[in-house]
Structure 1
């Protein structure tokens, strides 16, 4: 039997924005599933908010956004408001009517991701980037302190990706939400995250984004097993 992950020691400080990168098959999804208690590691311990994961009960503190294609049928006949309100069902019950305070909460989450103009639009009429913003609002509506995103920009065009990362950075800085972002887009990611972890069965690097940028050539060569060229994205942060 082959271990997917070995000797992993990883801390995500409260308030940080961690970019988790690594090649296909490196164990990123497995690590996320362990963090969400969907898988139980054979050895070692995981703590969430200082509590051992087996005893952790406050799952509404954690929001999760998977790849859009795997998580939602975009032909589903629901408006932006209705999709985001689904994020409250765990708290209020599946077929309960939304009270005024719940409706305000939904609108607030939609506003946080910049989608207020699309409140009553059908989810299937939106672009890929817009849909992903809605899915983040659905995760935000229950007030999580930690948001985990598993490759949320797959299939999203480059300009939308830049705006998307800017939105995540704003959520991290202004709303103090701790973020863990799994991504392949190393060049763009480093402009926005506070920390980087490079994973390929083991952790090859874990540190600040500035430190990563200084060592990224040797780190990524070690990570991928060969030299790789990182495309730099020169973004105008003020425009997003």
Structure 2
């Protein structure tokens, strides 16, 4: 049986007042987001914004040499495409699906029209953008000053916050590309976490066995991002029928 989705599974959409939902929801399109799908290329024109429900999208900066590093992750807490309502129309980063799943997409003009009403959506989008900037800034600091072990813990926790369960499907090579480090470093760090009983890793499947332990092993960067997101975005409760 196919899984059922609703726009309210995205916390931003769920937090909008009923009258705003009535204007936007008819224009939402349900779309699958398979692992590795590129939503935006660097410098490309954005025609839609994406509201993930059970998928995760990575915003990645790619250097001329081909080296890359993740600057933020977006899941059911937010949207992909803030440049559209900030007036940029494009971004130097690439948006690629890190964890496959589902999303709703909305044509750019409908988002702009609602944003320009200077109502609830504008306030919510700006607060979300501040939370996203915090995540980007903290990621930069973390990548510069903290160990690969700590970076991996932060990355796993941020991903878990955006998924319904405690499992991720992710190869060590892909994690290394996201963190901008060597694969050997990720292999060693993941091995340490597995020996401590915090995670179980097998052929691209990561199961978090001890989330509290993962938080203790992480640097302060995860807590900073989580606290700021919770402060800025008092999301409405989401009812999920299982």
Under a length normalisation based on structure 1, what TM-score does the superposition of the two structures give?
0.29
Whose strand proportion is higher, 1 or 2?
2
TM-score by length of 2: 0.29
